[in-house]
Amino acid sequence: MTELDGTLTDLARLRSVGEPIVSLYLDVRWADEQQRERVRLFVQERVRQTLAHYPPGTPDRPALDRTLQRVLAHVGQLTTQASQAEKDGFALFACEGLGLWQPMLFRRPFAPELCTDAIPHLTQLARLADDLEPAIVVVPNQAGADLYEVRLGELAAESSLRGFVPRRDRDRFNPGAARPGQRFERQEKDGRHEEAFVQRNRRAAAAEVELRLARTPGAHLVLVGTAQNVAAFERELPERARARVIARLPRPREWEGAGGARRDGVVAGASGAVAEHERAAERRIVDGLVGEALRGGLGVVGPEDVVQAVNEGRVHRLVLEEDFQRAGWQCDRCTALGATRGADLCPYCGGDLHTVQQLGEALVARTLAGGGAVEVVAHANRLHGYRGVGAFLRQTAPTGLRGASPPWPTAPGASQP
Ligand SMILES: [Zn+2]
């Protein structure tokens, strides 16, 4: 779960019956005029190609034309500005008829894409949300801990938890510590005394971290420091918080610097740990999904079975390969989706069908709109063998035995919002 979840769900519920929704993704890392020009040309060319599909006189053309001109103006302005500090990717969703104009900048670049469709194209945005899961970075110390919250690849908050630590030196000149033996005892006592404070500070920091984890569902924990400090801090965490630790890192030297260098170091350290965790998680997810599907559990693989599950509103988590490319159809009457080629009429309701060029985008939007999650995974042989798509299913209601229901439910679109 990330900051983007609400945005993704809201966008996924949009559907335009009039002029199409424009989805635009750009890589806005430009070092010179040539790169800016390339971005401008890409958008101009895609706008020209898009409008070519709407000859003058087509009912939706005037509104679409106005939206696209606004997009061109916005991109023109974006490319004349100095490079946005720490912003590498730009996404925009626009449709005049829906009153939609949503530009967004992110820390990670997108593959350039401008398309028009009845639905917004959300795969790239869903992938970003899923790859840049939030992380809480904890650097424990004697007084407590330094905390950093990294969201969508950016430092969102930083704070220092500081408790009291007594200074040993101050007490050492105490006249009571004059005799040699007593002095040794005194040091021992000071040591225990200090350790008690350090322990208390550690507990307070652990409690604060637990609170923040509860506030940020899906956030990972990254612990930074010496093995000893990290282990001592980790012992204070309850089991459920410890389960969210994805990395234990030594403190990099650049973190000792002040301000910008340290913040960049924190973001880089957290992003690296999250990316590595995500790659491993993707493999586990695909293995788990294929295993579940093969033993007839709560998982399906392959476009036909996934489309059916989406139509029935049963997808809990869609798993899609990043390069999934496939056309399908959608029913004009009941909005059911289909993956089969050459179908004439809707097998659910007998309605007319129209072609959906990017079935993947339709599956992503339908899943998100229904409250499901989307996991976009790197191209991997395991899922590719099932044509790049699968889905974990919701637990079916105890009364609705799987397999006992008719092959086509009467209104597949009915369970969709
Ligand atoms: Zn239908």
Total number of domains constituting the chain: 3
In the chain, the amino acid numbered 230 is V
> What is the Å distance from ligand 1's center to 410 Cα?
9
Identify which of 29, 9, 96 has the alpha carbon closest to the alpha carbon of residue 61.
Answer: 96
Same domain for 145 and 224?
yes
Give the model's pLDDT for residue 263: 80
Who's near 187: CB < 8 A, 6+ residues apart?
A: 168, 172
Q: Decide if 129 is inside a domain.
A: no
The mean pLDDT values, 10 residues at a time, for the chain of 417 residues are 78 94 94 88 96 91 96 92 75 96 92 95 92 91 90 86 70 49 64 82 93 90 92 94 93 73 82 90 94 95 96 95 93 93 87 94 95 90 91 70 40 42
> What is the Å distance from ligand 1's center to 331 Cα?
5
Give the model's pLDDT for residue 416: 40
Q: 359-369 vs 123-131: helix axis angle to the nearest 10? A: 60
> What is the Å distance from ligand 1's center to 392 Cα?
24
> What is the Å distance from ligand 1's center to 412 Cα?
8
Which of 281, 314, 347 is at the close of a domain? 281
Give the model's pLDDT for residue 368: 94
Tokens at 145, concatenated: 């801990």
Give the model's pLDDT for residue 29: 87
Give the model's pLDDT for residue 184: 61
Q: Decide if 314 is inside a domain.
A: yes
Give the model's pLDDT for residue 296: 92
> What is the Å distance from ligand 1's center to 413 Cα?
8
Q: Decide if 291 is inside a domain.
A: no
Provide the β-strand partners of residue 161. 145
Q: Decide if 5 is inside a domain.
A: no
Q: Decide if 193 is inside a domain.
A: yes
> What is the Å distance from ligand 1's center to 58 Cα?
27
> What is the Å distance from ligand 1's center to 20 Cα?
21
Residues with CB under 5 A from ligand 1 (ion): 331, 333-334, 336, 346, 348-349, 351
Same domain for 245 and 312?
no
Domain containing residue 356: CATH number:
3.30.1330.30
Give the model's pLDDT for residue 175: 47
Q: Decide if 355 is inside a domain.
A: yes
* Cα–Cα distance, 353 to 220 (Å, whole number): 44
Give the model's pLDDT for residue 412: 45
Same domain for 272 and 237?
yes
Same domain for 417 and 371?
yes
Same domain for 100 and 141?
no
Same domain for 320 and 253?
no
> What is the Å distance from ligand 1's center to 95 Cα?
26
Q: Decide if 370 is inside a domain.
A: yes
Residue 340 buriedness (CB in 10 A; 0-12 / 13-18 / 19+)? exposed
In the chain, the amino acid numbered 129 is A
CB 298 within 8 A of CB 395: yes
Residue 92 structural domain: 17-117
Q: What does 254-279 look like in DSSP terms, one character per residue?
A: GGGS-HHHHHHHHHHHHHHHHHHHHH
Same domain for 99 and 166?
no
Who's near 237: CB < 8 A, 6+ residues apart?
A: 206, 209, 210, 245
> What is the Å distance from ligand 1's center to 105 Cα?
38
> What is the Å distance from ligand 1's center to 40 Cα?
41
Which of 247, 281, 315 is at the close of a domain? 281
Same domain for 159 and 39?
no
Give the model's pLDDT for residue 396: 67
Q: Decide if 113 is inside a domain.
A: yes
* Cα–Cα distance, 46 to 407 (Å, whole number): 42
Same domain for 267 and 363?
no
Domain containing residue 165: CATH number:
3.30.420.60
> What is the Å distance from ligand 1's center to 209 Cα?
50
Give the model's pLDDT for residue 407: 40
> What is the Å distance from ligand 1's center to 302 Cα?
21
